Chain A
């Protein structure tokens, strides 16, 4: 079927007939910049409300790397938050200590929080364990994402608690979530596959919410681009070691040929979670016997990592 086109050979927006900037293959819609922004903001609001991710009076700590996803998340939450009386935001940036990479994104994070008037805290791996990531990874670069992920989560959680946050919001998008499902399946890690840290509130942990989980990476990039907010930033030098990079490429190919694949994967995770509720697969939380942080075993990943690194 031939699509209607505006002058200049650009397909028209399915809402207003203006020149489109993006095609959404799942619902076969073209959207112009204005309707893309409205669509993304409405879907994020719906995700938050449907899952009860935010409550009145919450102080939401946004993990702000300065990259596109967390930048979009902070902008979206700053626009949507007035719907929850008394709720406010604090941004937390974790500086892992990656030469030639993090400087630009930290600078972008500082500029954004200043523009939005959001309280901003920067914490570093050096503060947390005494070393930057580059030093920690010498000779073990292939473990980069595992080590970085464990320490980043710890740094973000500690900083969020110190800032008085009641929940942590991260910029994980639909692509990230689908990739995680596939990675956990490839590893045969069912407990991690069904782990859900986004719901329930307890003294043991701060809930981690993902308001962008229904939005594709491309929609997020386009959302920023049409508002003049997209910046090309350097790529993490350790990305090439990551299983995620392979899975991202594989999944992007599948999604292109079979639109809806990523959504089906994240839907399947929710179904599996329901089937596993109340079974031994759903690991219960304990306190780490060394540091007291919540964990699923006797000792948490951070303490285990400290032992293995000798730090």
Chain B
């Protein structure tokens, strides 16, 4: 599974967490501070994810 992190870094994960929430927990990211798209579509934290998915984590808070 390909995960695009908020800093635009890319991480290939060998195992696939069951849901977006599990993925964020494993990465230590608070779900309130990001949006997550799965294959380009916005999904809630409870959405399932699989090994073929491209997950993009977008930070929503920025000063100013």
Complex CA gap A226/B48 in Å reads 19
Q: A68: which B residues are within 8 A, CB to CB?
A: 60
Q: Please indicate the chain A residues that have their CB under 8 angstroms from the CB of B33 in the complex.
A: 249, 252
Report how far A287 CA is from B55 CA in the complex, Å.
Answer: 55
Q: Are B62 and A233 in contact, CB atoms less than 8 angstroms apart?
A: yes
> Which B30-64 residues have a C-beta within 8 angstroms of A?
30-33, 35, 37-38, 41-50, 58-64
Can you list 5 residue pairs at the A/B interface with Cβ under 8 Å? A3-B46, A216-B32, A230-B58, A248-B61, A249-B33
Residue of A nearest to B19 (CB): A9
Q: Are B35 and A65 in contact (CB under 8 A)?
A: no
Question: In this assembly, does A239 line the interface, its C-beta being within 8 Å of a C-beta of chain B?
Answer: yes
CB pair A222 B42 closer than 8 Å: yes
Query: What band does the interface of chain A fall in when counting residues whose beta carbon is under 8 Å from B?
Result: 35 or more
Interface size on B, residues (CB 8 A): 24
Contact A101 B44 (CB under 8 A): no
- Bound together, the chains give a CA A65 to CA B43 distance in angstroms of 28
The B-contacting residues of A in range 219-265, CB under 8 angstroms, are 221-222, 225-226, 230, 232-236, 238-239, 242, 244-245, 248-249, 252-253, 255-256
Determine chain A's interface SS by DSSP, over half rule.
mixed
A9:B44 contact, CB within 8 angstroms: no
- Smallest Cβ-Cβ distance to A67: which chain B residue: B64
Residues of chain A within 8 A (CB-CB) of B49 are 9
Contact of B64 among A65, A230, A232, A256 (CB under 8 A): A65
B44 touches A30 (CB 8 A): yes
Contact with A along B1-20 (1 / 0, CB 8 A): 00000000000000000000
Q: How far is the CA of A225 from the CA of B38 in the complex (A)?
A: 13
- Interface residue? A304 (CB, 8 A): no
Residues of B within 8 A of A92 (CB): none
Q: Tell me the bound Cα distance from A242 to B62 in angstroms.
A: 12
With a CB–CB cut-off of 8 A, which chain A residues contact B41? 19, 21
Residues of B within 8 A of A218 (CB): 32, 35, 60
Which chain A positions have C-beta within 8 A of B31?
A: 256
> Other CB < 8 Å A-B pairs besides A221-B58, A225-B35, 18 of them?
A9-B49, A9-B50, A10-B44, A11-B47, A20-B43, A21-B41, A22-B42, A175-B61, A216-B32, A217-B61, A218-B35, A225-B58, A232-B59, A236-B64, A242-B63, A244-B63, A248-B61, A256-B31
